[in-house]
Amino acid sequence: MLAKQKGTIALSSTNRKKVKDELSPELRHLVNKRLSLNILIQGAASHAHLSSHHSVKEKLDAIDPELVDLYDKAIAGATLAYWDV
């Protein structure tokens, strides 16, 4: 069953396989291309978030030399929590 939600279409789990099987090869290619681009963009955003504090390392070191290491540990924990959800 299809349900419209704010301009998108949500599929019930029972109809996902049926819709997937009905996609034309050209549309399937476009969907896969879009999914790949979304994954690349998410990875780039995640990387920027994980490493942005290194761009101001000198300023952070002036405040406290342990800050960069503490940020690394905090971000590692946040990343684990993000992917664990």
Structure tokens, 69: 């290491």
Residues 13-45 as b/e (b if ≥16 CB within 10 A, e otherwise) read eeeeeeeeeeeeeeeeeeeeeeeeeeeeeeeee
pLDDT tens for 33-77 read 999 999 899 888 877 777 888 889 999 999 999 999 999 999 888
Phi/psi for 41 (5° steps) reads: -65, -45
Q: In this predicted structure, what is the pLDDT of residue 48? A: 78
Answer whether 0.75 is exceeded by the pTM. no
Q: In this predicted structure, what is the pLDDT of residue 52? A: 85
pLDDT tens for 2-44 read 444 455 566 666 666 666 667 888 998 999 999 999 989 988 8
Alpha-carbon torsion (16, 17, 22, 26), positive or negative:
positive
Instruction: Give SS3 for 24.
Output: coil
